[in-house]
Amino acid sequence: MTLRRSANRLAGLALIALLAACAAGLEKTTMAHAQTRPEGAFVSLQGGQVHAIVRGQGPDLVMIHGANGNARDFSFELIDRLAGEFRVIAFDRPGFGFSEAFDGLESPVEQADILRAAAAALGVVRPILLGHSYGGAVAMAWALRAGDDLAGMTLLAPATHPWPGELGLWYRLTASWLGQTLVLPAVARIAPRESVERTLAGVFAPDPVPEGYLDHLGYDLTMRVGQLTLNARQVNSLRAHVEAMAPGYPALSLPIEVVHGSEDVTVGLRYHAERLVKDVESARLTRLDGVGHMPHHARPEDVVAAVERTAARAGLR
């Protein structure tokens, strides 16, 4: 799941959950779902472990998922589409999926440093980075820290720049003491699956959610208290981080392909992708008309083509 549209939808759910939890005395309930299992391997680093799904052979392609998601967002379909030409490494960001939290890292720069270390441990050499949504901010932080070590980047609906206005009630609430200590634990315990599915539909809109997506992503993973809490802190602080990062973008010279849907109301096209291609001479934008925030599910063939263009521009073809 990702940033702005889901925030507004989850706000009502949070308030309902809070009232219900208070009435019930915050008694624990059992969530009816199967436990999701790791698909990949673990990289041990100082401070914790990072989980990575590794498939295929060829030039290295590192994937970084968005807010409140995990690497299984990519293994639903995209990894298999690219593993015939690349060695794909899809990471769970620290604190998400099966990766440990590394003391609750909140900035894209801190997360990028952890993932760079994990990639080095896996023998990754001059990779292409693919970042979706919040993962696009982490990819940009990686490029600012170690751009010479990258072949290029493919960014999907990336959150790269400060935006006007507020994120909405959900993140204002969940960034507070009340939200962190009461609302999020209540939501994790008692949120009905139907409400989560409606929120997910809002993130994908106007595109449909693929059948079986939520089960593959891991309902149990996305609704953990620790992950919800970390996600709220990260998203709430993101604008300040990208505001600090943005002045460094014009110095980047590596090939960057950006894919962004025209109907994305989670990470607005004009506030992020369009500004990025103005700031970075080597960035090119593919605008997908009628597509929302999940282009790798709505139009995976266009995403594959963007990765292939990145590889060609980087001299990997």
pLDDT in tens, the chain (317 residues): 455 555 555 444 444 444 444 434 333 333 333 489 999 999 999 999 999 999 999 999 999 999 999 999 999 999 999 999 999 999 999 999 999 999 878 899 999 999 999 999 999 999 999 999 999 999 999 999 998 999 999 999 999 999 998 777 777 787 787 888 888 888 878 878 898 899 999 999 999 999 999 999 999 998 898 999 999 899 999 999 999 999 999 999 999 999 999 999 999 999 999 999 999 999 999 999 999 999 999 999 999 999 999 999 999 98
- Model pLDDT, residue 170: 73
Q: Which residues contact 177 (CB under 8 A, 6 or more apart)?
A: none
Whether the Cβ atoms of residue 91 and residue 34 lie closer than 8 Å to each other: no
Place of tokens 């990766």: 99
The predicted pLDDT at position 28 comes to 37
267: domain CATH number? 3.40.50.1820
Question: What pLDDT is attached to residue 31?
Answer: 37
- Note the Cα 3 to chain centre separation in Å: 9
Instruction: Give me the pLDDT at residue 3, please.
Output: 54
CA distances from 181 to 25, 80, 177, 185 (A): 14, 40, 6, 7
- Cα 283 to Cα 314: distance, rounded to the nearest angstrom: 13
Question: Tell me, what's the pLDDT at 131?
Answer: 98
- Cis preceding-peptide flag for 206 (omega within 30 of 0): yes
Range of the domain at 83: 4-313
62, β-bridge pairs: 89, 129
* 250-287: b (≥16 Cβ within 10 Å) or e: eebebbbbbbbbeebbbbbbebbbbbbeebbeebbbbe
| Residues 67 and 234 sit within 8 Å (Cβ to Cβ) | yes
The reported pLDDT for the residue numbered 98 is: 97
Q: What is the DSSP letter of 154?
A: E
Instruction: Determine the pLDDT at residue 26.
Output: 36
pLDDT computed for residue 267 by the predictor: 96
Amino acid identity for residue 284 in this structure = R
The DSSP 8-state label assigned to residue 237 in this structure reads H
How much is the pTM? 0.89
Q: In this structure, what are the phi and psi dihedrals at residue 210, rounded to the nearest 5 degrees?
A: -60, 145
- Smallest CA-to-CA distance from 135 within 316, 3, 278 is with 3
Q: How much is the pLDDT for 260?
A: 98
Total domain count, the chain: 1
